[in-house]
Amino acid sequence: MRLLFLFLDGVGLGDDDPDLNPFARARMPNLVNLLAGQCLHALEGKLPFHGVRASLVPIDACLGIPGLPQSASGQATLLTGENIPKLIGEHYGPKPNAAIRAILESDNIFKRLQTSGQRAALINAFPNGYFAGIQSGKRLPGAIAMAARGAKIPLKTEADLLAGNALSADFTASGWHEHLDYTHIPILTPAEAGGRLAALAEGYELTFFEYWLSDALGHRRDMVAACERLEEFDAMLGGLLKTWDDDQGLILITSDHGNLEDLSTRRHTNNPVPGLVIGAAGLRHPFSERLHNLADIAPAIRDFFAV
């Protein structure tokens, strides 16, 4: 069995309002097909949803703590199964503070699986400047990269991307051309990126991919750019679903807090985040039914692998 964890930063379940919610405006046929004709929104009165190939449940990101959820504490919660905002007394982000770093270094889902003999990987490729920034102390890794490093999982590099053993943060590597001048890296179509994602997931029990552009777009409040990126994501999803074997494992798509689903504000939201689980019904129903808040995700993954 394997699990592909597609983490979409800053994505909540918003209203079915195309003026504010790009999920209600963008053309996303693959996602809509999974949800039996609905776009990804709160589906008032219709959640949890169980379809032919996918289930959708709302996941609480507020965790009983006042204020708006933040990236570091939210991501650390879903990586550890601990209610991090409750432990540290606040929502905190974007990067982990000392208290969150200590918790991540002590225990996280990557470390649990590695210790039990399961293979886990973070398959985002990071450019050379990222590693140079960390080495110099001028850059602090985010919670997800920090958790992987703490489990002695090497971060993927330019060489990994070139060899086809990783994916760029935007799936296609077009950003590596436009912003980083890595013009020797092949550009993929979104569908090709989805196929590569499925192929890479065959090499691990847990494959993790972090898509942070969704949160950046939410802060920018750019509806046109948001729709373009979501349509690109949907095309990638189509390529992934075309080659994914539902009987061999699950795809989990979820987030740390709301943002992109409500472009009336640049701030995060307190909306629930999606728990979209794709796979055979016998696997995804018991998995999705235990997801109620962010702290439920890591235990569900541990139990899925009997760790």
Domain definitions of the chain by residue range: 2-304
Residue 262, token pair as written in the block = 């409500």
- Is residue 43 pLDDT above 80, yes or no? no
0.95 surpassed by pTM: yes
- Which residues does residue 118 pair with via DSSP β-bridges, in sequence order? none
Among the listed residues 23, 18, 52, the one whose alpha carbon sits nearest the alpha carbon of residue 35: 52
**What is the model's pLDDT at position 172?**
97
Asked if the model's pLDDT at residue 41 lies above 90, the reply is no
Instruction: Please report which confidence band the pLDDT of residue 249 belongs to, taking 50, 70 and 90 as the band edges.
Output: very high
DSSP H helical ranges for 19-164: 22-25, 29-34, 71-80, 84-88, 98-106, 109-115, 128-136, 143-150, 158-163
Determine contact, residues 230/22, Cβ cutoff 8 Å: yes
| CATH class belonging to 2-304 | alpha beta
Phi, psi of 69 (to 5 degrees): -60, 150
Specify the length of the chain in residues: 307
Q: What is the pLDDT of residues 268-278, one digit of tens each?
A: 999 999 999 99
pLDDT at 228 over 90: yes
What does each C-alpha distance from 176 to 155, 170, 265 come to in angstroms?
17, 9, 29
In the block, residue with structure tokens 């939410």: 218
In tens, the pLDDT along 113-163 reads: 999 999 999 999 999 999 999 999 888 899 999 999 999 999 999 999 999
